[in-house]
Structure 1
């Protein structure tokens, strides 16, 4: 065999082996369509922050697969509301899921919880969806977005999965909401209409569910549960009726955040986890199967 033929054969064989040994990996959500139409001339472009958590990341010393997307902390030094204390050792990736763990801070009434936040920020038009199993505590299981100055917030998942007999109302509801704030002096607007507490009879802690938000524009939000449109909040009178955004609406770049929280509006009423509940890992972990983020772009820009 000539040298030229030998080299061609070797190159062909190598290319074939690379092809069969390095298949394109499918993301967990590939078979699930985005439930929002992109519209004529546009398409949904997947952002690389999207994460199916198909790798291992211990509570500390997380790998590049995690750290290229996420900080193992909140977006700033704040440690969380109420009795919460965000702790970097309380988030990890295992068996294809992100775990956000809660435990008692020794010798105190505080609760250690995990919190991760995206290194990048995002603006509309944007679709964000997460597949989540709530923790079984009175804590909030949360996937949300927040501007860098903490004045604009979109809640994707905010829910309370405790199965205590006294918590049946909360266990059957997802809080689908947003906030606009003035920080000094502190003022907070969020919708209080009945639709902000979505209820179709499901006990949300019993299984994984998909919850998504289409942030279409500064004055328009759509909420999707398991692919179904369940709530629309549109117009200045529903997004910012008190004018806290000076007429700009939900317009600031926002970080993604995944955490659990012992919120003061509940703990002030005595609704806080017991030591026994926190020690029970069947209750104390919020699980995220995946989170995906799509930006709406012109068709020719995605090619």
Structure 2
């Protein structure tokens, strides 16, 4: 079945995109802090390889928002097929009045929203998506949480937008939303007197020369803590953001829901989509290839999830940050290394002198995920000054030299 969806995805890629650089866009989380490991969070990860939305993870509608008029969120516009989550914008056959609170609001465009059933807190979240070629949105964001403010009579609500874009330019102020990546963080604050303000962090933007609907792109956000986030666009270097902190120094401190939304934006900032493009199936649909959420755990904490293995997330390997290091003569070598593994593996470290004689070999368990650590390599005697080689082998648990998955070498200069 997996092979079938792989073939379908490749076929659709040929039809939808030209094989350019963004097909090779980097995915996966950034390097974790020392002593930590990224593991996939199944509640916010989906490859969309079935034939319907996974109801254990997602709602096919927004539970508290009908949509920004004139775009109404409708479950009929949500589909999982051919290995993609597809959100489709269309023109309604007739105008529709919807009662929202005490008001009746007119809608005449069909939009879509998919919302996680669980809330997420800190972690790394990314998606691979091709925007619809209209002025309706293609988004990847979180909101929720909040509660009482620091004064007790005030309150706040959180919103974290990893990516918001549209799929074509036009003669309107917000045409820049048609390309690149646009990341925002909102601190929705209601004062004790009832006045509500949208306090925003400085926007983070990545520029691109092509519209977002021309190809698939990878958009990622690392919700680092209550006060900051980092953003990742394809293969570019990350950019960083400090959340608005004039009310409290921990403005983003509560869990939020993940949201994948296809909506209309307010005119005249962005023009409404035309009837012609909404009727064109080659333009009116957003394609989410996958979404993935990662959480940080301790390097020694086991993980029962098999997702990394199922989707073959990583090119499995052991990495040294630099080709060589200098250390003082000792019986203990502090070796900085990282690794990526789709399932539990073992790392074999073999210390050799430059006569290619083995000094010592050790083996330790490497739990599945992307880890960053400093390994304390202990030798039986104090090393003599000179040049050494540390050879790393990544192997299956219990594997031998015939089953090596990756080899890497670090040169070590031992000083007196």
- Equivalent position SS for 2:213: helix
- Equivalent position SS for 2:209: coil
Write 1 or 2 for the structure with the bigger share of helix.
1
Inter-partner Cα distance in structure 1 for 2:68 and 2:297:
36
CA displacement at 1:175 relative to structure 2: 1.3
Inter-partner Cα distance in structure 2 for 1:224 and 1:165:
29
Aligned to 1:34: 28
Which structure ranks higher in relative contact order (CA pairs < 8 Å, sequence separation ≥ 6)?
1
- Equivalent position SS for 2:278: helix
1:118 aligns with 2:116: yes
Aligned to 1:132: 129
CA displacement at 1:135 relative to structure 2: 0.7
CA displacement at 1:187 relative to structure 2: 1.2
Aligned to 2:222: 214
Aligned to 1:187: 197
Structure 1 pair 227–298 and aligned structure 2 pair: CA distance change class (3 A): farther
1:99 aligns with 2:86: yes
1:169 aligns with 2:167: no
CA displacement at 1:163 relative to structure 2: 4.7
TM-score between the two structures when normalised by the length of structure 1: 0.78
1:43 aligns with 2:37: yes
Inter-partner Cα distance in structure 2 for 1:208 and 1:117:
21
- Equivalent position SS for 2:301: helix
Aligned to 1:254: 256
Structure 1 pair 248–165 and aligned structure 2 pair: CA distance change class (3 A): closer
Aligned to 1:18: none
CA displacement at 1:241 relative to structure 2: 4.2
CA displacement at 1:145 relative to structure 2: 0.6
Q: What's the Cα RMSD here?
A: 2.7
1:157 aligns with 2:163: yes
Answer whether contact 1:73 1:86 (CA < 8 A) is retained: yes
Structure 1 pair 281–177 and aligned structure 2 pair: CA distance change class (3 A): same
Matches within 5 A, 1:6-25: none
Aligned to 1:79: 66
Inter-partner Cα distance in structure 1 for 2:75 and 2:2:
34
Answer whether contact 1:222 1:229 (CA < 8 A) is retained: no
Aligned to 2:51: 56
Inter-partner Cα distance in structure 2 for 1:169 and 1:32:
23
Aligned to 1:12: none
- Equivalent position SS for 1:143: strand
CA displacement at 1:86 relative to structure 2: 0.6
Larger radius of gyration: 2
Aligned to 1:143: 140
Answer whether contact 2:175 2:270 (CA < 8 A) is retained: no
CA displacement at 1:33 relative to structure 2: 5.7
Structure 1 pair 191–202 and aligned structure 2 pair: CA distance change class (3 A): farther
CA displacement at 1:72 relative to structure 2: 1.0
TM-score between the two structures when normalised by the length of structure 2: 0.57
Aligned to 1:302: 302
- Report how many residues are paired: 260
CA displacement at 1:100 relative to structure 2: 0.6
Structure 1 pair 32–174 and aligned structure 2 pair: CA distance change class (3 A): closer
Answer whether contact 1:83 1:111 (CA < 8 A) is retained: yes
- Single out whichever of 286-295 and 38-47 deviates more from structure 2: 38-47
Aligned to 1:69: 57
Inter-partner Cα distance in structure 1 for 2:282 and 2:85:
15
Write 1 or 2 for the structure with the bigger share of strand.
2
CA displacement at 1:44 relative to structure 2: 0.7
Answer whether contact 2:116 2:258 (CA < 8 A) is retained: yes
Structure 1 pair 200–299 and aligned structure 2 pair: CA distance change class (3 A): same
Aligned to 2:205: 197
Answer whether contact 2:115 2:259 (CA < 8 A) is retained: yes
Aligned to 2:285: 285
